[in-house]
Amino acid sequence: MNSDQFSGKWKQIKGQAKQKWGELTDDEIDQIDGKREELVGKVQERYGIAKEEAEQQVAQFESSCHC
């Protein structure tokens, strides 16, 4: 899924994102608003992981999300 598709489907997949990364707040999920890099940054920050790990998690999420 490219970044335009990700952004366009955000309203459909944000519930799945909330399930995967339960430590993200509803406000953070709303702030992300379909911006992939924003999601990577929030996951990295909230979970204290390296950017590469956050990128990998988001890529895996993109390929497995049901949208």
Spell out the domains of the chain, with CATH numbers in brackets.
Answer: 3-64 (1.10.1470.10)
pTM exceeds cut of 0.85:
yes
Contacts of 4 (CB under 8 A, 6+ apart): none
Number of H helices, E strands in the chain: 5, 0
Give 14-67 pLDDT, tens digit per residue.
999 999 999 999 999 999 999 999 999 999 999 999 999 999 999 999 888 866
CA distance 8 to 35: 10
- What value, to the nearest 5°, has the Cα angle with vertex 21 and ends 18 and 25? 60
Contact (CB, 8 A) for 67 and 39? no
